[in-house]
Amino acid sequence: MTAGAIYETAASAIRARFRDEVATPEDLAVVYDNQDSAAKTTRWARVSIDFGTAAQASTGGTSSMRFRVTGRVTVQLFEPIGTGKTKGDGQQLALIDAVDAAFRGARIATPQIVFGAPSPLGAPDIDSDVWWRRRVEIPFRCDFFGIEQ
């Protein structure tokens, strides 16, 4: 990984995990930030990756210094209003469980990413009288080593 690819590499790894562990098994359409969110007719998710503080986490030679970036993944789950006729919000709660199972304490080897406990935040709400929306936030830290030029 080059010095300029830290964030791109981390975001790609996080997106791949969401795709492989949640979206594909749950048959869930996913929209990422700055991507067209054309009208959807079935449940879908918006996934945002927010990077926070970056700091040097250890000392050593140029190639062995550890740097750490913290951040969070925000997953907004959208379900068409009225589709939970027999289970109410159960379908979205099952999706929240899938997100939790995919990320709670999970690790990605390259780059080194460790996820904390996913938290469903706030009350569900209605978005534009069409979608029932829930939000889940997943904290993470990403370590990378050295500076390759």
Question: pLDDT tens digit string along 56-85?
Answer: 777 776 666 788 899 999 999 988 887 665
The CA distance from 52 to 132, in Å, is 29
Highest mean pLDDT among 23-37, 48-62, 78-92: 23-37
Identify which has the larger pLDDT, 143 or 124: 143
Indicate the pTM of the whole model.
0.86
pLDDT average, residue stretch 96-113: 94
Amino acid at position 68, single letter: R
Whether 107 shows a pLDDT value over 60: the answer reads yes
Contact 74, 113 (CB under 8 A): no
